[in-house]
Structure 1
Amino acid sequence: MLVGVPPQATHTAVLVLVPEAEPVVGALRDRLDPSAPQGVPAHVTVLFPFVPAQAVDAATVDRLRRAVAGVGRFDATFDAVRWFGEDYVWLAPSPAAPFAELTERVHRAFPDHPPYEGEHEPVPHLTVGYRRHSSLEALQRAADDLAPRLPITAGIDRVHLLAGSFEGDWRVVAEAPLDRRPGTGHRR
């Protein structure tokens, strides 16, 4: 086990944290996305679920770092509010391709861990809230509140490995930097 993985952690996730979004989405996520009060910051998911928390070791982190090293740093703009049906409200990143490439690379390096357990095709997004934990009306108010506060621009230079449980206490246990040269490796 890697030092820093909480002993009570059961799951891990590979995420791109987007701290630039917190001033805009933080309070909304606290109410509408149960992962926020559990300690998961605003993010775009690269791969979840990832390796079981107690199986994470230095070799896992090294393989993750190698998987993303060929992707260059990039800027992303979150400029549109989108929906998955009437169940999820989220922000769309532009460009989306580098996020998709990160998911592809990490999944290729860890083929036993498909995105979302293979239940649906991954779409790069920053979740604001979902209906299982709030009403459609609350999600609609959030979407209406967000639209005039966009765009949000973020510099993406690393992915983060978080460990925690669905009861809370998620924390960053490792980082994997992207290539220092902008735009290296991702499709245009």
Structure 2
Amino acid sequence: MSRSPGHTVLAVGVPDLDDHVRTRTAHYDASFVSADPAFVHAHVTLLAPWMANPTTSDLDEVGRIAAATAPFDMRLARVDTFPDGLIHLRPEPEAPLRALTAALSAAFPDHPPYGGRFGDVRPHLTLDAVADGITPETVAAELRDLLPVRQRVDRIDLQWWANHDCRVLASWKLGQPA
């Protein structure tokens, strides 16, 4: 197990899948299982890694973006796999999530999604990774009683991810002034 210096994630939590993702997180590294009841392990990343020590001005800017974004509905049903073997769910529609990521990226150009490692960043909820006995089909079978998930997206959470210290630092409602 490696030690993480920690990083922030601007994310949309998906509580209906949290038990599953929490279990998989514990399987790989239990030090990332949060004791914070507000922390949702199952999430769609909007921007990460973000800044470790955001200023009040930075937080206010996220609040302005959240306030300018109307809540929307998403559906998670399709299990997919990235070329690197990351098994994930693809939210539908993607456009509102892409718009949030674009707005956050424009506001914080020094913090591109995933450090700029990927060109077209597709919104997704990470489930697992391909390995012996773990395939998109086995993951889909594990989730058959949970999918599809339909959710009203109405908030952005600022999560802190670090060994033994995963927690929510801030949260903003969509469509409401901060």
Shorter-normalised TM range: 0.7 to 0.9
Correspondence 1:36-185 to 2 at 5 A: 37-39=32-34, 41-51=41-51, 53=52, 55-85=53-83, 87-120=85-118, 121-131=120-130, 135-140=131-136, 141-147=138-144, 149-165=146-162, 167-179=163-175
Which residues of structure 2 form unaligned runs of 5+?
35-39
Specify the alignment match of 1:184 in structure 2.
none
- TM, length-normalised to structure 2: 0.81
> Any idea what the Cα deviations from partners look like across 1:42-77, whole Å, max 9, x if unmatched?
0000000101x2x22322210111123221101111
| Contact 1:28 1:142 survives alignment (8 Å) | no
Equivalences for residues 8-47 of structure 1 within 5 A: 10-23=6-19, 25-31=21-27, 34=29, 37-39=32-34, 41-47=41-47
CA contact (8 A) 2:12 2:43 kept: yes
Question: What's the TM-score, normalizing by structure 1?
Answer: 0.77
Q: Which residue of 1 aligns with 2:37?
A: none
Question: Distance in 2 between the 1:25 and 1:113 partners?
Answer: 26
- What CA deviation, in whole Å up to 9, does each residue of 1:126-155 have, x standing for no partner? 000124xxx242244223322453101111
Q: Secondary structure at the match of 2:133?
A: helix
The structure-2 alpha-carbon separation of the partners of 1:136 and 1:109, relative to structure 1 and needing over 3 Å to count, comes to: farther
Report how far residue 177 of structure 1 moved: 1.6
